[in-house]
Amino acid sequence: MSVQSFTHAAATLLNISNIQGDILVGLQKDAEKFLFFTITDVPAFKARLPMLAALVTSTKSVMDREQDIKAEKASGSGTRLDLRGLNLGFTAPGLDKLLGNNPVTTSAMIDSSFVAGAQARAAVLGDELDAWLPAFQGTKIDGVMLVTGPDETKVNSHATSIVQLLGSAIAVVHEELGQTRPHRGFEHFGFQDGISQPGIRGLTPPMNPTDPEQGLPGQDLIHPGEFVFGYPGQVDRFDPSFPDATKETTGPIVEPPFVWMNDGAYMVFRRLEQRVLAFQKFVKDESRVLGMDEGLLAARLVGRWPSGAPLVLAPLQDDAALGADATKNNHFEFQHEDASQRRCPYAAHIRKTYPRDDLNDAPGIPALAGEGGEASVQTRRLRRAGIPFGREVNDSEVIGSEASRGLMFVCYQTSIIDQFEFVQKDWANNDTFVFGKGRPNGSGQVTPGHDPLIGQVAGDLRVVDELVPNYPTGNTRSSINITQRFVQATGAGYFFMPSIAALLHGPLSQ
Ligand code: HEM
């Protein structure tokens, strides 16, 4: 996991005692249980909700715990703090059960994807519903509890006491367990994850001596309304009210559909299985065909080396010191430093999902020229808070019958449609994005291809451009076909994570 510190002093504008802890900072977790539940007795659930809310871990608690962890580490005691956490969210049907005569669907402002639910949106995103676990299909899930802790045993014990507290008010219909891998902070394909997160204005301290608009160097500060309701958001250059918007421009307050939704956020959950052996075989076979190093090919699919070192800064070989240095490993742009994908393919996972300044030269789209491109990109940011699941690859496993392992992907935003779904559908699944790009030496336009990790298309034929690097010079065309998914969605859910006050004495409990 990346080194990220947050400051209480700067957080006075944000109601950090009221915002659930996983949203802006992230619950401390080496194990996380996702308890999906149905509400079986509405009056009983409402009556017990304040007791449950009292156990919910706030952003402030998470920040205090960060200080405790630092102090413990500094003391050299080697003790692992037993930090248990709880966060809570509801699906649209779950909210409606609790709200009675005033359901969320009565507001025109409500995110239509949240109301439709993840299953109804699966086809739009390219998910194969056949691969979804039955538990995620249908309308059983009213809510989810995220129970976190330092290990599986402690998380299980915390989960048991929480479920006991709720008694017959709920039935747990499904549960999932996420756990950090023995190689902590690395996902199952072997790459460091959790490096690049949007900084939050008013919470993330500016730490770049040369740019006060950044947290850690390269980490642009984003207005909090992109992630939590009730605060100013970013403005898109396409918004006619802000024709000169830059990525720093303060936008209007992002108002929630209902007042009680202030200090809350939408959460997207996706159970993403990773076919590790198939991925490794593909990289091995294809690197032979392309006549290039296996490690370099894998890094060009991701945009970073396993250590986390970005290809823009380390185009030909891994640099472990760079990957481990949070003050350097995110300090780069794309268009500015790598205009014709010599260092990092346009289709690489991190370039697809956060193209930084790549749109600044979008020809033919005047609104996006200059800073405007990046201003638009910054309206698509996600706060990611996932955790791996499944055991390590075992020698007896073979392709086709790999154990179930992958990523419990979680992200937070104030618009599922404009943030998570847009990134998945309009960027990762769209082979023409990043649009308007040229080949090296200005020799013609290029179709970047699909995100090789998470891109999803019907028929499963994905194309990725320029995996053989033209770095530092050259103009050799390489375009490869990928005919399988290395990442398969096996379930998903859209939730709303209310503020702690809304849980304690809002309409959900009254
Ligand atoms: C099993 C599936 C996935 C794997 C293995 C994976 C892996 C990675 C890795 C290794 C990184 C680089 C480390 C970092 O910057 O934190 C990364 C970054 C990122 N991923 Fe994923 N990811 C997956 C799913 C997704 C999904 C579903 C989305 C959103 C639709 C997504 C969005 C992002 C974003 C926004 C970044 C940060 C890019 C940046 O800011 O530079 N990822 N991912």
Which tens digit of pLDDT belongs to each residue from 37-87?
999 999 999 999 999 999 999 999 999 999 999 999 999 988 889 999 999
Atom of ligand 1 nearest to the CA of 189: 5
Residue 304 CB less than 6 A away from ligand 1: yes
The CA 169 to ligand 1 mean position distance, Å, reads 37
Spatial contact of 276 and 265, defined as CB atoms under 8 Å apart: no
Question: Which residue among 2, 181, 188, 193 is best mutated to probe the pocket of ligand 1, counting the most ligand atoms within 8 A of its Cβ?
Answer: 193
Buried b (16+ CB within 10 A) or exposed e, 410-429: bbbbbbbbbbbbbbbbebbb
Q: Has residue 353 been placed in a domain?
A: yes
Q: Has residue 252 been placed in a domain?
A: no
Indicate the pLDDT class of residue 415, thresholds 50, 70 and 90: very high
68 is annotated as an active-site residue: no
Q: Has residue 241 been placed in a domain?
A: no
Atom of ligand 1 nearest to the CA of 303: 12
Catalytic pick among 22, 127, 142, 193: 193
The CA 207 to ligand 1 mean position distance, Å, reads 23
3-state secondary structure of 216: coil
Which pLDDT belongs to residue 186?
98
The CA 76 to ligand 1 mean position distance, Å, reads 33
Q: Has residue 182 been placed in a domain?
A: no
Number of domains observed in the structure of the chain: 1
Please enumerate in sequence order all residues whose Cβ is within 8 A of that of 463, keeping only pairs 6 or more positions apart, or say none.
431, 447, 449, 450, 479, 480, 481, 482
Q: Has residue 451 been placed in a domain?
A: yes
End-to-end CA distance of the chain: 39
Mean pLDDT of 290-309: 98
d(CA 411, CA 433) in angstroms, rounded, equals 22
Which pLDDT belongs to residue 441?
74
Q: Has residue 314 been placed in a domain?
A: yes
| Closest-CA residue to 335 (of 304, 305, 369, 309) | 369
Q: Which domain holds residue 351?
A: 276-380+423-488
Task: Note if the pTM is more than 0.85.
Answer: yes
Q: Has residue 366 been placed in a domain?
A: yes
Residue 427 CB less than 6 A away from ligand 1: no
Residue 5 pLDDT > 80: no
d(CA 230, CA 111) in angstroms, rounded, equals 15
Give 171-192 pLDDT, tens digit per residue: 999 999 999 999 999 999 999 9
Which pLDDT belongs to residue 13?
87
Residue 36 CB less than 6 A away from ligand 1: no
Residue 1 pLDDT > 50: no
Q: Has residue 445 been placed in a domain?
A: yes
Spatial contact of 16 and 202, defined as CB atoms under 8 Å apart: no
Mean pLDDT of 459-487: 94
Which pLDDT belongs to residue 3?
39
Atom of ligand 1 nearest to the CA of 196: 15
Residue 2 pLDDT > 50: no
d(CA 7, CA 168) in angstroms, rounded, equals 41
Atom of ligand 1 nearest to the CA of 194: 16
- Return the ∠ at Cα 375 (arms to 374 and 380), rounded to 5°: 85
Give 421-433 pLDDT, tens digit per residue: 999 999 999 999 9
